């Protein structure tokens, strides 16, 4: 029986993935690194510091530490979210749907906690959640299940009673590895990726989720 719902944030609730790319591109360009959208897609769902580590292995810039680069990216993403981000279609509706059911609600994100809190506060979404958890506090980020397991533990929930909502393959793998049910809402350009077959349900938008889906997932 499902009694807990855990959401990812970037690209699922908030349309921030393009802003992450813009911020990474701008910060990396200062180090002489040209990052294309195709290259950036390889690190979708990873923590910021893991993204920086990943590209440092290839481009090996000098003079500026990886931690400084990661902090600059996060600072710039926060600025961009506050200036121009929008919430994804269906965000308020699905959060209200589960709030009305009185299930526990958590957020498990690869983003640093300061970005999570700034984003939720900006869009006035913080009141929906019983707990927030960032993978920055884990030894490993997604696709490792640690952030999902820690979020479930903080909520006092068994992973087997949790339903996770994700948009990325790394996030889906993390939640499935935690033994949770998973609904995926991929980006349109990635909608046909066969890896999403691992999910329990795939949707094109959060607006498509219905009471019937909830009932079906609860008994699977």
Active site residues: 8, 10
Q: Taking a C-beta distance cutoff of 8 angstroms, is the pair 8, 168 a contact?
A: yes
Directed axis angle between helix 48-59 and helix 17-29, to 10°?
Answer: 40
Residue 105 gets which letter from DSSP?
E
Q: Residue 16: is the preceding peptide bond cis (ω within 30°)?
A: no
Cross-strand bridge partners of residue 105: 5
Question: Which residue's structure tokens are 């990661």?
Answer: 70
Reduced to 3 states (helix: H, G, I; strand: E, B; else coil), residue 200 is: coil
Q: CA–CA separation, 59 vs 23, rounded Å?
A: 17
Residue 166 main-chain phi, psi, to 5 deg: -140, 160
Q: Which runs of E-coded beta strand occur in 112-193? A: 131-134, 162-166, 181-184
């Amino acid at each position: 029986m499902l009694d807990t719902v855990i959401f990812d944030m970037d690209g699922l609730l908030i349309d921030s993935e393009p802003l992450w790319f813009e911020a990474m591109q701008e910060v990396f360009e200062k180090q002489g690194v040209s990052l294309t959208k195709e290259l950036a897609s390889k690190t979708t769902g990873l923590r910021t510091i893991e993204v920086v580590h990943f590209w440092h292995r290839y481009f090996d810039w000098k003079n500026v530490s990886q931690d400084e680069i990661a902090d600059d990216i996060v600072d710039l993403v926060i600025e961009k979210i506050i200036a121009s981000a929008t919430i994804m279609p269906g965000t308020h509706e699905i959060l209200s749907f589960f709030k009305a059911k009185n299930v526990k609600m958590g957020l498990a994100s690869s983003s640093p906690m300061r970005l999570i809190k700034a984003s939720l506060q900006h869009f006035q979404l913080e009141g929906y959640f019983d707990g927030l958890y960032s993978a920055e506090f884990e030894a490993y980020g997604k696709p490792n299940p640690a952030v999902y397991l820690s979020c479930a533990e903080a909520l006092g929930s068994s992973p087997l009673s949790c339903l996770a909502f994700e948009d990325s393959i790394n996030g889906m793998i993390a939640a499935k590895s935690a033994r949770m049910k998973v609904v995926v809402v991929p980006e349109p350009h990635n909608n046909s990726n066969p890896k999403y077959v691992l999910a329990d349900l795939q949707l094109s938008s959060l607006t498509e989720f219905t009471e019937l889906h909830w009932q079906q997932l609860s008994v699977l």
